[in-house]
Chain A
């Protein structure tokens, strides 16, 4: 396994103003401020995208494939998740959206949730066969899988080792087209993603050697393009009809989308990463009894709340639920559940849907060696005791506790704490210029430039 992990979130130093909002919100304490810029610690990041959401200046970007990449392939498949349709008003038909994608250059459009019915059956079988441990955890949200790897290493064996609907649909699409005589090398499958975590799941999957997806297009980018086409009433060129999905499948990526497929009272759905963390603490203590299945999602309102979704998450959920109850032709939804794979195809998918065991990669361990870790822990307790517990972040670490850890791991100096500085200054153990130098190293020369407030200095006084 690599020591450096691929992330879709990139920090643009040229735009970062060093405000530390991202550092304070990060649920895995993966961000530090140095030289006036936010820095990401790659091994701690789970790609949840909370930093992207909060950045006031757009300095955090989500890497995506160049749209022109689709033209590397003769057959260009768009994998369309239902939350994409949910971004549009229900007055815009499903066919209009698909036609617009066609006009943009895709030759085929497959709905991600097409794979749900098949996957749901596989889930049930998996849960029946695998009696322990309980509760089993859905592998659907890649940010949650990574959160468990880094923060809950003892729970990795609770994760169900099956692929997501996205992969099932991609496998099926590729197989369909190959059977139609298309050269597999000329088929490019592109996923329209609502979040950063799904990008990473495609680019460096956990439990798989290589993803079946060839590229990723960010949802907000494509939304603007599709919206423009539809508003110009172009894209009348209709695509062939695709199998209608049932309402339950369409809502899979919403909160309760998976748990609704399981026995009531024995399954639970939790969204938002801090809620999930709180609950996983209890699972780890073995406090949770009588639950077989956990649907855990990093975003509030699940994928409707994905960081790349342009629309308001509550409205998206509402629109999607409404869409499932209106005209099936308009919505591309059929409650009969007309979709079924041939028995050959089912066998093919069954053979290809397992993933390898997921390994822990704890960010909590202080050292590989227990004795060494214990020495470090003692030192952390000592340091943490003298810190003010204000968690102000002025030291460039998110909390007093994390500063003590950074100091012990040789990544920071205790004198970065402004309270420690003031105490040392009073005792004449630290020169004021020395402490200013320390602050400049954290927050940059600019923020602490002596001459920057020359004209305003009277106002301050």
Chain B
């Protein structure tokens, strides 16, 4: 099964809506609660990243019997140093974003902790591509 969602940069009020939709789907599929939780947490972080840093983004969800494969492609500034961005506490979020309770520098590491496979590629000045894969059974 295949779903697509579009995310608007800067729209914090809507951050989390894709995660909620995907969560509902996984619940209907009777996927294990722990897997749902991990997936939703990772996806929510990705969603917030687009809202906080990028101009726009597209989330593609691919589901089969074994796994969920989420691709998050944004148009934005890109990440110059992915390794550093993965470090806990590292953040380039603006003070305004931090004031809203986001941008604590936990995003990418939290995503890594909550996904079975995580691939991040980025081009500075163009955008970032994130792929999260979680398996239903380990």
Contact = CB atoms under 8 A, between A and B. Distances in A.
Contacts, number: 60
Nearest to A378: B1
Contacts of A367: 30
A406 to B, nearest CB: 14
Given A154-B37, A285-B20, A374-B1, A364 B44 contact: no
Main SS of the interface on chain B? Answer: helix
B36 interface: yes
Given A285-B19, A370-B136, A153 B27 contact: yes
A233 interface: no
Contact of B28 (A287, A369, A373): A373
Contacts of B28: 364-366, 373, 377
A170 B44 CA distance: 44
B94 interface: no
Given A153-B33, A281-B20, A374-B63, A286 B27 contact: no
A429 interface: no
A371 interface: yes
Contacts of B19: 285
Given A153-B33, A377-B28, A284 B1 contact: no
B24 A371 contact: no
Interface string A87-131: 000000000000000000000000000000000000000000000
A282 B47 CA distance: 14
Contact of A154 (B16, B33, B44): B33
B65 interface: yes
Interface in A344-403: 360, 362, 364-371, 373-374, 377-378
Contact of A284 (B30, B34, B40, B136): B40
A373 B30 contact: yes
Most A Cβ at <10 Å: residue of B16, B25, B28, B136: B28
B20 A374 contact: no
B29 interface: yes
Nearest to B110: A286
Interface in B34-84: 34, 36-37, 40-41, 44, 63-65
5 closest residue pairs by CB, A with B: A365-B30, A154-B33, A364-B27, A373-B29, A286-B41
Interface of A: 153-154, 281-282, 284-287, 289, 360, 362, 364-371, 373-374, 377-378
